[in-house]
Chain A
Amino acid sequence: MALKIVKGSIDRMFDKNLQDLVRGIRNHKEDEAKYISTCIDEIKQELKQDNIAVKANAVCKLTYLQMLGYDVSWAAFNIVEVMSSSKFTYKRIGYLAASQCFHESTDVIMLTTNQIRKDLSSPNQYDTGVALTGLSCFVTPDLARDLANDIMTLVSHGDCVKRKRCSVLIMYKVFLKYPESLRPAFPRLKEKLEDPDPGVQSAAVNVICELARRNPKNYLSLAPLFFKLMTSSTNNWVLIKIIKLFGALTPLEPRLGKKLIEPLTNLIHSTSAMSLLYECVNTVIAGQYCSSVGSVVLCVQKLRILIEDSDQNLKYLGLLAMSKILKTHPKSVQSHKDLILQCLDDKDESIRLRALDLLYGMVSKKNLMEIVKKLMLHVDKAEGTTYRDELLTKIIDICSQSNYQYITNFEWSVSQPVTPHPPGISVSWWTIRVFAVAQMATLLDNAHLLTGSMQRNGICEVLYAAAWICGEFSEHLENPLQTLEAMLRPKVATLPGHIQAVYVQNAAKLFATVLKSQEGNTDSTTAQETSQLMIDRLPLFVQSANLEVQERASCILQLVKYIQKLQQKDVEVAEEVIALFAGELNPVAPKAQKKVPVPEGLDLDAWINEPPSESESEDEQPKAIFAKEEPKHSRPRHTEVDEKELARRREARKQEQANNPFYIKASPSSQKVYQDAPGVEHIPVVQIDLSVPLKVPGLPMSDQYVKLEEERRQKERAEKKKKEKKKRKEKRSGRGKKHDSGPESEEDITPAHMVDIVTEEMPENALPSDDDDKDPNDPHKILSLHFFGPFQVVVSVIFENKCDSFLKSMEFNVLDSLNSKLQRPEGSGPHDGLTVPFQLPPGVSNEARFVFTVQSIVMPQKLKGTLTFIVKDSSTHEKLDFKLHFTCTSYLITTPCYSDAFAKLLESGDLKGSSVRLEGVNMPFHHLLARICFHHHFSVVERIDSCASMYSRSIQGHHVCLLVKTSGQTVSIDAKCDEPTLLGNVLDEIKQTFSQC
């Protein structure tokens, strides 16, 4: 062994470390890849050695190679090895490597759970630190679930500030991966908002801001707390986060915006930090619907100062914020037009883009031409394609704004080569047609200028319009023949298909016009020449790959050939050809198409021909040909969504919300009450009334229960005699109802003493929520809401000594889960046991009560516990393990329900359904119902033959409805509840009950 160590350290001297590797790579610029591959081979050798130092060195090098783009996931297991080194130096290397290359599908990640747990509770705070840092990068849902509790322990019991801060931050990652942990952890997180350490506080603010960003509504209740923080904190980083959070909250609660104006204005006036000032302005803007004109003016003034600043960053942010004001207060922005136009000339593209955004709101009838002229200059100068595209889009947006309302001079507009949809204009304003047509003809003549440079920008779209205008209004053309010639140039074939198609079609129209003018002349040769021109040029289009071009071209070609024949016989054809295109076009309203009724018997969705089969469509060739053939301006298909589909989507959305970690649902019974605050003395927030009766009202016991209880007792006694020692838990609600949840599967511990632990759990008179001990006069407190109060459950445990010895010094301890925790006296640690306040002579039983804090009732909990005690005679310490089972059923209260109320509940649609089938149940139906009533606290609403409806309510007011049907030995239960998790668990428990009989 010693030799090996010596050998290991000698080897190390020859190993490359990270620096050597980097140097080597730098020296092998020519054959870098080859060099690295030899290095990787070396690393593989190093990883095979037992020496952890060698391994750590190898992993360190791998981390570097990962940055260069090499996949190092093959070394994942070695990384885990290095992570679990006891030395901090290596541990850190391991965690760094893991954080760089582990992710959810890394399978060795599950091997790390225990190591991370160990590091989290390490006495060395730096071990904890690197573990938390690493975990924050590669946490998976499994890790989050398994480690959530450990992290919570760090949050509340961590002695070291840094550790606390990290663990608060990592909570966010845990919530993301394991949303169930949010609810139980939230009160703890809220507490940390008021932590004395500013670092911990800022971490908590950070986490809550992230949570609230996704779903602000649920965090409105925290507004008073944040308000207090905002007015007291001096940490700019924290202030910025809080102010950003308010920016998200104010749109939801207008009164909050009002309340914020004053402190925000103060901050705007007083702060020297630009970052803070900027965020204040942003938040005022966010609440501007309710804020006074004065505050908006103040913001605009401040923004102007930012924009005028020589610092480009401030300029950029100023413009960014300005565009938000533009949406609601365009007037206040318009007065700074000069400044914004100035920014258009800025050398910085980011700033020009921001300024462009603002221009949209600046345009008026007066300045449109001026602005567009300026923009056109920029188009010429623009070097980058993105910026030019953006410019052109903006010009078009600006011009077409509100249906061309700002365009006073259409002649001007048409002369701009990029004006959108000239057909729209020229059809609508026939007065300018003549002008438009002349312009377009020039445009077509010069099309080669456009096609070359601007095809990629979509500018050639304008040719589509131009061709159409010239064709349609060809009678206004001065020289139609020239235009016709221009439209049939071979270069046209390079244009996109849909434009070519328009060209061909309109060439035909032009042809008709030309014929007409030429037939008036005596010389028939010119007309024949024109036909010949068509016949010469059209075959080019007939060969087009575009189907539409092909079709139109061949049609027209045939037509022209026919005309030519007629011409040769000296027949006058012009009138007839013109007739083909007769009819004046009038503007068509955008909705006109929709108003045309679909003729009876016409199904637009039906296939005319059978659709091609799958195998055919896999053939790429025809697809590629037809891909571009879609007509550009086809009517968008109106998709009808039927009710069913809507319902399904709604359901999916609810499901998504349920799984969304940022979406905290309020308990269903809670009501929203808007507190009437006098004036703006208090910040108005939503208060959720805790209408849930935490104190369970006493209910009369049913006769059934008594009988079953008798049976159970007898059975239990018989069992007791058989087994030397067994443990049973049973639950009893506060009013004294009891039921047997069946014997626990027993672990093979065989102590000599018989101790029967009977636990009884009663959701009894839960204490008021923790906030209540605060000063009721605190203005921030009055309106704060009980978000999800943890409630307390008192569990009575009956200890029965079945052995012949005297038992003393009994200590009861339970391993807490995230959801359920044993309440321990002040000052004791999270793992300390509680002393049972009595001793047990042989054969005696006694009852002790323990209080548990339970966060959520929708899931059953099984807590592991141990009872330690001393046997007096032998003075030996003995230990007994047990499990406490908190079933979901035990949170249900038998509540009577009338059938009409029941029916209404089912109709309301708020409940989600689930069902279960029980096979081989061999008992009369009424026994079956009695069992469900007794074990699971349901009441029968209505019973008809072999079918019955049942109802129960949880202590948090969840409704649970059952429809039980039986046929033969099969029982089906259809159930509905507003909380699907609870329902699933209750059904599981019912199933369990019947599987035991």
Chain B
Amino acid sequence: MIKAILIFNNHGKPRLSKFYEHYTEDTEQQIIRETFHLVSKRDENVCNFLEGGMLIGGSDYKLIYRHYATLYFVFCVDSSESELGILDLIQVFVETLDKCFENVCELDLIFHVDKVHNILAEMVMGGMVLETNMNEIITQVDAQNKMEKSETRQPETIS
């Protein structure tokens, strides 16, 4: 199971946070800060796994992350997930974002966090991996966006 997915930039500013377990807002911020602290002090070209991190912790959990340009993508997972599998999943996630936003950059995530959430929802549901095939994910996202567009053309009604 995936416990949390975090995206933050090189300065620790959160760009997306998805917790599959409930925490208070304060704890969530603390987790983001702490995770940033752990991840940011690591060199490039070291391994992408990290044990520890008190808040999200427990020996069964690992942080698996990737660093792309200005952004860190961090997944907190337990031992039922394959480490390399999750790394691939992060790659798929980023590639999907790249396709959906056409050359994704941090600004896209800043201004369209809702869209990022929608894309993520096609990949991971309630902490369990739903789909790993990028084309499938994009088809689903596009279909829903199309539906959204067709709705905006309709006259507005009060429901």
Contacts and interface: CB of A to CB of B under 8 A. Distances in A.
B129 interface: yes
Contact of B125 (A18, A68, A136): A136
Interface string B22-60: 101110110000000000001101111111100000000
A70 interface: yes
B140 interface: yes
Contacts of B128: 136, 169, 172, 203, 206-207, 210
A808 interface: no
Looking at A51, A199, A236, A313, which has the most chain B CB atoms within 10 Å of its CB? A313
Contacts of A674: none
A237 B158 contact: no
A166 interface: yes
A350 interface: yes
B84 A313 contact: yes
Contacts of A104: 22
Interface string A79-99: 000001111110011001000
Contacts of B158: 5, 50-52
Contacts of A26: 110
Interface string B63-92: 000000000000000001011110110000
Given A52-B158, A67-B17, A96-B114, A237 B129 contact: yes
Given A68-B14, A350-B51, A165 B45 contact: no
Contact of B144 (A23, A92, A172, A348): A92
B25 A87 contact: no
B129 A19 contact: no
A137 interface: yes
Interface residues of B, number: 56
Contacts, number: 155
Contact of A313 (B49, B112, B126, B157): B49
Interface string B142-159: 011001100110001111
A312 B47 contact: yes
A53 B156 contact: yes
A483 B156 CA distance: 91
Contacts of A244: 80, 82
Given A50-B158, A172-B128, A89 B20 contact: no
Contacts of B147: 88-89, 126
A317 B144 contact: no
B47 A351 contact: yes
A22 B25 CA distance: 19
B47 A85 contact: no
A87 B159 contact: yes
Given A173-B126, A210-B1, A312 B46 contact: yes
B131 interface: yes
Nearest to A165: B130
Contacts of A236: 85
A199 B135 CA distance: 14
A170 interface: yes
Interface in A673-708: none
Contact of A237 (B25, B45, B132, B156): B132
A829 interface: no
A313 B47 contact: yes
B85 A71 contact: no
B100 interface: no
B94 interface: no
Contact of B121 (A86, A133, A279): A133
A773 to B, nearest CB: 32
Contacts of B127: 136
Interface in B101-132: 110-114, 117-118, 121, 125-132
A315 interface: yes
Contacts of B46: 312, 347-351
Given A347-B43, A348-B46, A350-B47, A313 B83 contact: yes
B114 A170 contact: no
B138 interface: no
A20 to B, nearest CB: 10
B41 to A, nearest CB: 9
A5 B111 CA distance: 28
Contact of A315 (B47, B84, B112, B121): B47
Contacts of A19: 111-112
A946 interface: no
A316 B49 contact: yes
Contact of B25 (A66, A86, A137): A66
Interface string A140-174: 00000000000000000000001001100110110
B125 A240 contact: no
A133 B159 contact: no
A137 B52 CA distance: 25
A210 B125 CA distance: 14
A544 B72 CA distance: 51
A169 B47 contact: no
Contacts of B18: 100
A130 B144 CA distance: 10
A316 B47 contact: yes
Contacts of A279: 82
B126 A170 contact: yes
B20 A137 contact: yes
B62 to A, nearest CB: 10
A275 B85 CA distance: 6
Contacts of A67: 14, 16-17, 113
A50 B158 CA distance: 8
A7 interface: no
Contacts of A137: 20, 126
A320 to B, nearest CB: 9
A317 B158 CA distance: 56
A275 B82 contact: yes
Given A9-B156, A92-B118, A22 B125 contact: no
A237 B16 contact: no
Interface of A: 5, 9, 18-19, 22-23, 26, 50-53, 60, 63-64, 66-71, 84-89, 92-93, 96, 100, 103-104, 126, 129-130, 132-133, 136-137, 139, 162, 165-166, 169-170, 172-173, 199, 203, 206-207, 209-210, 213, 236-237, 240, 244, 274-275, 278-279, 312-313, 315-317, 347-351, 353, 386
19 contacts: A18-B112, A18-B113, A19-B111, A53-B156, A60-B114, A63-B114, A67-B16, A69-B25, A87-B151, A89-B147, A129-B144, A170-B125, A203-B130, A275-B85, A312-B46, A313-B87, A316-B49, A349-B42, A350-B47
Nearest 7 A/B pairs, CB to CB: A136-B126, A275-B84, A312-B47, A103-B22, A348-B46, A69-B29, A316-B47
